[in-house]
């Protein structure tokens, strides 16, 4: 069984004295939270429904990463029908060069430096 849980991840911390002795330590903690910014993906034991081994953590803004990892864990035997968003975006950019087809939806106002769609368009322009 595979699980995906949205939640909040808090990093752990450690304070040491001048001799390197641990004075204070906080363990990392993941808590389930529908408004959290992280997604944990892992395997559950079929009988106990407890996690088996460590989970992988992703930002909730990385659906292509955590969904790909979940599919890797599931090992599907049939081919999936996942749209190739990169190819779709590149084709749209060919039809209207210089203008991101998603600019209106993301409201970036041309601040596209960190946008994956902008990156795909640039790759298509470099290849073509």
Judge whether 80 lies within some domain.
no
> What's the pLDDT score for residue 128?
60
Residue 62 has pLDDT above 70, yes or no: yes
> What's the pLDDT score for residue 95?
66
Max avg pLDDT among 5-9, 58-62, 66-70: 5-9
Judge whether 101 lies within some domain.
yes
Choice between 58 and 97, residue whose per-residue pLDDT is larger: 58
> What's the pLDDT score for residue 58?
92
Choice between 128 and 39, residue whose per-residue pLDDT is larger: 39
> What's the pLDDT score for residue 91?
73
Show the CA angle centred on residue 50, arms to residues 45 and 56, nearest 5°: 90
Does one domain contain both 93 and 70?
no
103-117 pLDDT, tens digit each: 556 655 555 656 666
Judge whether 79 lies within some domain.
no
> What's the pLDDT score for residue 51?
87
Bridge partner residues of 95 (DSSP)? none
Does one domain contain both 60 and 107?
no
25-58 pLDDT, tens digit each: 999 999 999 999 999 999 999 899 888 988 999 9
Classified as helix, coil or strand, 125 is helix
The residue range of the domain holding 21 is 2-74
CA dihedral 115→116→121→122, nearest 10 degrees, is 80
Does one domain contain both 23 and 68?
yes
Does one domain contain both 27 and 63?
yes
């Amino acid at each position: 069984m595979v699980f995906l849980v949205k939640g909040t991840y808090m990093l752990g911390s450690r304070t040491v004295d001048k001799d390197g002795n641990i004075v204070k330590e906080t363990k990392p903690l993941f808590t389930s939270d529908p408004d959290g910014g992280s997604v944990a993906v892992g395997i559950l034991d079929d009988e106990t429904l407890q996690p088996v081994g460590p989970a992988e953590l992703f930002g909730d803004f990385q659906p292509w990463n955590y969904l790909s990892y979940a599919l890797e864990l599931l090992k599907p035997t049939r081919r999936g029908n996942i749209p190739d968003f990169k190819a779709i975006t590149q084709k749209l950019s060919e039809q209207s060069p210089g203008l991101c087809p998603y600019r209106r939806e993301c409201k970036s106002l041309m601040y596209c430096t960190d946008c994956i769609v902008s990156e795909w368009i640039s790759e298509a322009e470099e290849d073509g």
